[in-house]
Amino acid sequence: MEVRACAGNMDFTRLWLGLLLPLVATLDFSYHHQEEMEVFLKNVAQNYSSITHLHSIGKSVKGRNLWVLVVGRSPKEHRIGIPEFKYVANMHGDETVGRELLLHLIEYLVTHDGKDLEVTRLINSTRIHIMPSMNPDGFEAVRKPDCFYSNGRENGNFYDLNRNFPDAFEFNNVSRQPETMAVMEWLKTETFVLSANLHGGALVASYPFDNGVPATGTIHSRSLTPDDDVFQYLANTYASRNPNMKGDQCKNKMNFPDGITNGYSWYPLKGGMQDYNYIWAQCFEVTLELSCCKYPREEKLPTFWNLNKASLIEYIKQVHLGVKGQVFDQSGNPLPNVIVEVQDRKHICPYKTNKFGEYYLLLLPGSYTLNVTVPGHHPHLTKVIIPQKSQDFSALKKDILFPFREQLDSIPVSNLACPRIPLYSNLPSHSAATKPTLFLFLVNLFHILFK
């Protein structure tokens, strides 16, 4: 009770202090090109230096910075127990709404910290990484904005970045692009737990898998992860708060009654970013298609912000689902690279603790058995019950102590990372019965521009 009261007092103290913080010049509702975007981001980082950190994770083909703004109480470094969240937009340069939504989200977060209790608690409990544009070259290449297709979709080398990642189901023999490599390296530096990738051209929240094999359900025209219940919940969390993401809002395009879809069910694709995040980065990612028109007129941007603001905030809060904790040996030393997974939902690339011995598992309320495995030792099983009503801005905390009598030797660091190859290749391969039907092929062809 005393801890809860203290935390509450700190929140209200920040609300009062927020009245004294500097203000960012109001961001207008227009499209911001690279130089304008950089000015805005640098202004935010300078005026709110205690809660923001601006850095570039790399360069585009044409040398433009790939900017990421971090928002949190410890913006420059990870803190134990604080989950890492990210939003990425504009990986297709001609899909522009997400880029502007993320700039306005940044403004909303920093200007409401200390003034809005929900935002203040979110910043207290979460480290939020926001990349407004993964493909700045593509955005700058658009000369004539179009609702359906512009030459800025691809990057400066004319590659589709959402077909450019390693694939777990089949070899993706394409030249890996600088923007893709930058994101892959970025994913190695942080323990990302939850993510969303903002697109345009449809209105739907799409969840993994985008590709698949019979073992993941392709015979039923879908491809499901071991965490399908969580992914459907995450997609619905976003879509249900956006009134436009229900029903046939985009005329002459596929109808998604609930505003969500399995990626493969919509159309299969190879080399997508959300599958890569889930399999190789231990990060749950969904793809958010937020506008029927890819590059709408800028006078419509205020409407898009009003439609998506609540969803953007609520989705970040889902990083606190489930259970988190650290794994220790009997001497109290945190253990990195320990496999921690739910017994009946193992990942093809096992989820492991980070260098601080931390694990984060997104789970819905229920009873689960955690299987904790150190190489060379028998698995350690422990039960957890995720309550129906989750704690405010925190997953259930469950530290795990390994019951070894002898001192645990250091865990070998060799072969820790799963190779970036088709990991599902040892499972039943595609057969004639499970290859996309003619209907799926036509859907794929018709919608190839929209994801």
- Tell me the two tokens of residue 305: 């912000």
DSSP string across 39-107: HHHHHHHHHTTTTEEEEEEEE-TTS-EEEEEEESSSTTS--TT--EEEEEE-SSTT--HHHHHHHHHHH
Q: Give the whole-angstrom CA distance, residue 423 versus residue 168.
A: 5
The 3-state DSSP class for residue 301 equals helix
Length of the chain: 451
CA dihedral 287, 240, 200, 306 (to 10 degrees): -130
Residues 6+ apart with CB under 8 A from 274: 197, 206, 207, 208, 210, 263, 285, 286, 287
Distance (Å) of CA 247 to CA 145, 156, 239: 26, 36, 11
Residues 6+ apart with CB under 8 A from 36: none
Is there a catalytic annotation at residue 289?
yes
Which backbone phi and psi does 20 adopt, to 5 degrees? -95, -5
The Cα angle at residue 66 between residues 64 and 67, in degrees rounded to 5: 120
Q: Give the whole-angstrom CA distance, residue 264 versus residue 211.
A: 6
Of 95, 289, 341, 358, the catalytic one is: 289
Residues 6+ apart with CB under 8 A from 49: none
Nearest residue to 100 via CA among 327, 323, 308: 308
**Beta strand segments in 121-276, E:** 127-131, 192-199, 202-207, 260-262
The verdict on whether omega for the bond into residue 393 sits within 30 degrees of 0, i.e. cis, is no
Nearest residue to 97 via CA among 36, 32, 46: 32
Q: What is the maximum alpha-carbon separation in the chain?
A: 69
Q: Give the whole-angstrom CA distance, residue 412 versus residue 264.
A: 37
Which backbone phi and psi does 174 adopt, to 5 degrees? -120, 160
Dihedral sign of CA atoms 20, 22, 26, 32 in order? negative
Helix/strand/coil (H/E/C) assignment for every residue in 417-443: CCCCCCHHHHCCCCCCCCCCCHHHHHH
Catalytic residue numbers? 289
